[in-house]
Amino acid sequence: MKWKKYTLKTLAEAEDIVISTLADAGVEGVEIEDKVPLSESDKKQMFVDILPDAPDDDGIAYLSFYMEVKEEWTPEETKTREEALLSKVTEELDGLRNFMDIGEGTIQKSETEDKDWINNWKQYFHQFYVDDILIIPSWEEVKPEDEGKMIIHIDPGTAFGTGMHETTQLCMRELKKYVKEDTELLDVGTGSGILSIVALKMGARHCVGTDLDPCAINATKENLAANGIAPEKMDVMIGNIIDDREVQDLAGYGKYDIVAANILADVLVPLTPVIVHQLKKGGIYITSGIIDDKEETVVEAVKAAGLTLLQVNHQGEWVSVTARKDF
């Protein structure tokens, strides 16, 4: 499969409007490359605590879009379609220039093979074990020697969580210690739903997930189905449980045997004093997503909320903190 690639050079501050303008020209998807620093809101929706150093922002953005070259097209037809697309893009950009500065607005052309966004990444994700739990994508077969073991079917997708990251594995090990047949679990930052699915496979009665990303709803539904878990075993709600009273009310108070939160340390600090209200007396609070130099920050937040510290575990440079509500 061949694709024509077009890379538009513009200003970072104009990229949102330029992308909208490209959409008006019939462009269905755009790849963005810029050096704009992440906002605090962006960081809170990402997984890592400490991001690598980024180059200084030069104010430039490169927006790439593609045109598929179908096998049945003749060279003349390909050229005609390309000219029509670029003519429409140029027309829309020229109109936009009357209202704002978009920088150079130049377009570079190139050609690429097999631009398969949907399937190419599959070569990098294969089945693996987390202790005695096998995590396997849908396109791989369970080996005969693995039959009868706990198997979690997870496909990487638009929501976070495959089990490969150390913090997810730390949470999974803590769940193994505390999940029982009647466990009610609250999974904050549920993503793909992997922690809830692990808990349900271990015998938990029901799970509730919260997330900021609407993609979490479909991701968890798909992964529940892939694991043969009835949809009514898990509910997912979108919103910030830290400051959204509606989400807090929907989740409920004093009802969870376990609250799991595999997110940022900087989010765990304000989350912890809120989440104690969702926990039952004797309930277990399992946290991770903590880079090692933020360990004390989370431990202090746990203690300040009145929780009893039970365990601090490490894997690589990552940390999980487990505590109990005794009041």
More confident call, 291 vs 47: 291
- Amino acid 116: pLDDT: 62
**Model confidence at 57: pLDDT above 80:** no
Residues 6+ apart with CB under 8 A from 16: none
Residue 90, pLDDT > 70, answer yes
Q: Which residue type is seen at 16?
A: D
Q: Which residue has the tokens 């090990």?
A: 173
Helix (H) or strand (E) holding 38: none
| Binding site per annotation, positions | 168, 189, 211, 262
209-243 pLDDT per residue, tens: 999 888 889 889 999 999 999 999 999 999 999 99
Q: At which residue do the structure tokens 């969580």 appear?
A: 161
> Could you count the other beta carbons within 10 Å of the beta carbon of residue 50?
13
Structural contact between residues 170 and 288, judged by C-beta atoms closer than 8 angstroms: yes
CA atoms within a 13 Å half-sphere pointing along the CA-CB vector of 86: 18
What residues are paired with 107 via a beta bridge?
8
The encoded tokens of residue 235 equal: 């509910």
What value does the mean pLDDT take over residues 201-212?
Answer: 96
Q: Which amino acid is at 81?
A: R
8 A C-beta contact, residue 320 and residue 287:
yes
Which amino acids are annotated as binding site for S-adenosyl-L-methionine, given as ranges? Answer: 168, 189, 211, 262
CB 180 within 8 A of CB 205: no
Looking at residue 48, the DSSP 8-state letter turns out to be: -
Q: Three-state DSSP class for 161?
A: coil
Out of 54-58, 130-134, 298-302, the most confident range is: 298-302
pLDDT, averaged across the chain = 88
pTM of whole model > 0.75?
Answer: no
pLDDT of residue 215: 81
In this predicted model, what pLDDT tens digit does every residue of 99-138 receive, in sequence order?
Answer: 899 999 999 998 876 656 556 666 667 888 999 999 998 8
Q: What is the token pair recorded at 276?
A: 């104690």
Q: Are 237 and 250 in contact (CB under 8 A)?
A: yes
Q: How far is Cα 146 from Cα 236, in angstroms, rounded to an integer?
A: 31
Taking the C-alpha atoms of residue 316 and residue 166, their distance in angstroms, rounded to an integer, is 7
Answer yes or no: is pLDDT of 1 > 80: no
**CA 284 from centroid of its chain's CA atoms:** 24
Place 49 in a pLDDT band, splitting at 50, 70 and 90.
very low
The pair of structure tokens assigned to 306 is 């009145």
With a cut of 60, say whether residue 48 has pLDDT above it: no
Q: Is 120 exposed, middle or buried (0-12, 13-18, 19+ CB in 10 A)?
A: exposed
Residue 246 has pLDDT above 80, yes or no: yes
Is the Cα dihedral 154, 157, 158, 164 positive or negative?
positive
d(CA 268, CA 299): 10
Q: Is it the case that residue 152 has pLDDT exceeding 90? A: yes
Per-residue pLDDT for 176 more than 80? yes
> What pLDDT is recorded for position 114?
62
Given a cut of 50, whether residue 46 has pLDDT beyond it is no
Mean pLDDT of 319-327: 97
Starting at the earlier edge strand, list the strands of the sheet with 133-136.
128-130, 133-136, 150-153
What's residue 53's pLDDT? Answer: 52
